[in-house]
Amino acid sequence: MKAPSPTPMTIGARGALRGTLTIPGDKSISHRALMFASLAVGESRIEGLLEGEDVLATAAAMRAMGATIERDPDGVWRVLGVGVGGLLQPTTALDMGNSGTSTRLLMGLVASHPITATFVGDASLSGRPMARVIEPLSRMGADITASPGGRLPLMLRGLCPAVPIEYTLPVASAQVKSAILLAALNTPGTTRVIEPVATRDHSERMLAGFGAALSVERTLAGRIISLTGEAELRPQSITIPGDPSSAAFWMVAASIVPGSDVTIANVGLNPTRTGLLSALRLMGADIEAIDPRTVGGEPVADLRVRHAALSAIDVPADLAPGMIDEYPVLFVAAAFASGRTVARGAHELRVKESDRIAAMNAALGACGVAVEEYDDGLAITGSGGEAIPGGATVASKLDHRIAMSTAVAGLHATNPVTIDDIAPIRTSYPDFLATLDGLTGRA
Ligand code: S3P
């Protein structure tokens, strides 16, 4: 895939953020909605789908394997599924762009179909480890030839019928769990995934909604998810809640910029995703959940966030799975707290869209923040609420969350912060800058 030319952007202080905003649909749930709907027999309807590049890569791949996926002018997506076992052989390589979720989940899907698919991606994705899915999917019978180090590009030849397995996750990863569950859908017998540490459970919730034979048991060994295959999925009408990982940027921005008062509408508050909310509240953030309700089988509320004096904390490591994508922006919050925040136990950050520990150490360090790097996290000495120096150019490293987190840091910096490339933001949050303009009176 040809790398597009970088788009630099400079962001400085703009004063308080105020108003009510909407956020894009949840990225994890959007991927799953497209995949499961493509496996149902008949037409599903999806409202609130995230129209970012990552999710569009999933849509393109599902079309390439036979699903009909269309967007109505009112923004509702309609998916005509092919039925479990009905995927077709794609005629070209599946281009996953920057999306690890598309790659790992679709590898699972292909693994139990009688088709061969080649997966390619951008430079960031091609550096990420795929052995974590190659291993269990090979045990189920898939034949996978990967690039050195278990990376993309790779070719996967599915086996039909595949072999059910019982698998204990060696890393806490919803992507690996979901890859196995997707493979299990077209596998005879019962496949079991044991997760010693709970990760986001959107696959389980949504598969049950589509009518899959799935059960979850909580034991001393962890959560045991059992799925009996050769399932028939029934089409659904799905409403996707707002993405808490996108809300995160406004939760931190409003907390650190004096005078801010924002209400973020329709934020998904699945308990497997609320780690940042817990961590910010421990730091003294003023975040009120208004009108808690259920949307599409997921808990949701509006969040009112007002500026507050933040205090440093030792971030509890057990919050990590529930905020794994929010560490970059948590590090930004820590840069404005009083005292030294220590966030460790998050090794996984090294293998996200970028090495997020190194990327945020470099970015915050360049902006004049005192940061220490550990193998599994950062320690950050905050400004006590004052503006940080800023005035640097930071590298977003093909990582949307690094770009957006450093943009938030620029909002309370003495000198503007330049991000070398904001293009990656399109993968998960195409309207990020427009929303920022709206909240700062520039729209
Ligand atoms: C995701 C799981 C997480 C997360 C990613 C989305 C998912 O990855 O970081 O952005 O949708 O299942 P891991 O499973 O690798 O932790």
Tens of pLDDT along 114-160?
999 999 999 999 999 999 999 999 999 999 999 999 999 999 999 99
Residue range 169-174: mean pLDDT, rounded: 97
Question: How many whole angstroms separate alpha carbon 253 and alpha carbon 247?
Answer: 10
pLDDT over 80 at 96, yes or no = yes
The radius of gyration computed from the CA coordinates of the chain, to the nearest angstrom, equals 21
174 lines ligand 1 (CB under 6 A): yes
Question: How many whole angstroms separate alpha carbon 214 and alpha carbon 221?
Answer: 18
CA atoms within 13 A on the CB side of 136: 30
Tens of pLDDT along 323-339?
999 999 999 999 999 99
pLDDT at 2: 52
Q: Which two tokens stand for residue 63?
A: 């079309």
Q: Tell how far the Cα of 380 is from the centroid of ligand 1, in angstroms.
A: 25
C-alpha angle 346/352/356, rounded to 5°? Answer: 65
Which of 80, 162, 70, 149 is closest to 113 using CA atoms?
162
Break the chain into its structural domains and give their ranges. Answer: 9-25+241-439, 27-239
Order of strands across the sheet that contains 77-82: 68-71, 77-82, 41-47, 237-239
Question: How many whole angstroms separate alpha carbon 326 and alpha carbon 335?
Answer: 14
Domain 9-25+241-439 falls in which CATH fold? Answer: UDP-n-acetylglucosamine1-carboxyvinyl-transferase; Chain (3.65.10)
As a whole number, the mean pLDDT across the chain is 97
The reported pTM is 0.98
Contact assessment for residue 402 and residue 427, using Cβ atoms and an 8 Å cutoff: no
pLDDT over 80 at 75, yes or no = yes
Fold match, 9-25+241-439 / 27-239: yes
pLDDT at 296: 83
Q: Any idea which residues carry the catalytic annotation?
A: 325
pLDDT at 234: 98
Burial class (CB in 10 A: 0-12, 13-18, 19+), 164: buried
Please give the C-alpha separations between residue 125 and each of 119, 280, 347, 351, in angstroms, as whole numbers: 10, 30, 18, 10
**Which CATH number is 27-239's, of 3.40.50.11540, 1.25.50.10, 3.40.50.620, 3.65.10.10?**
3.65.10.10
CB neighbours of 318 closer than 8 A, spacing ≥ 6? none
pLDDT at 119: 98
Contact assessment for residue 228 and residue 12, using Cβ atoms and an 8 Å cutoff: no
pLDDT at 335: 99
30 lines ligand 1 (CB under 6 A): no
Residue range 316-329: mean pLDDT, rounded: 96
Tens of pLDDT along 241-300?
999 999 999 999 999 999 999 999 999 999 999 999 999 999 999 999 999 999 888 999
pLDDT over 90 at 179, yes or no = yes
Quick count: other Cβ atoms within 10 Å of Cβ 318?
A: 10
Question: How many whole angstroms separate alpha carbon 36 and alpha carbon 296?
Answer: 14
pLDDT at 269: 98
pLDDT over 60 at 1, yes or no = no
Residue range 302-307: mean pLDDT, rounded: 99
Q: Mutation test of ligand 1: which of 134, 173, 225 has the most ligand atoms closer than 8 Å to its C-beta?
A: 173
186 lines ligand 1 (CB under 6 A): no
Task: Give the 3-state secondary structure percentages of the chain, helix then strand then coil, rounded to 5.
Answer: 35, 30, 35
Tens of pLDDT along 192-237?
999 999 999 999 999 999 999 999 999 999 999 999 999 899 999 9
pLDDT at 3: 62
Residue range 45-71: mean pLDDT, rounded: 98
Q: Mutation test of ligand 1: which of 200, 319, 399 has the most ligand atoms closer than 8 Å to its C-beta?
A: 200
Chain-centroid distance of CA 423 in Å reads 17
Q: What DSSP state is assigned to residue 240?
A: P
28 lines ligand 1 (CB under 6 A): yes
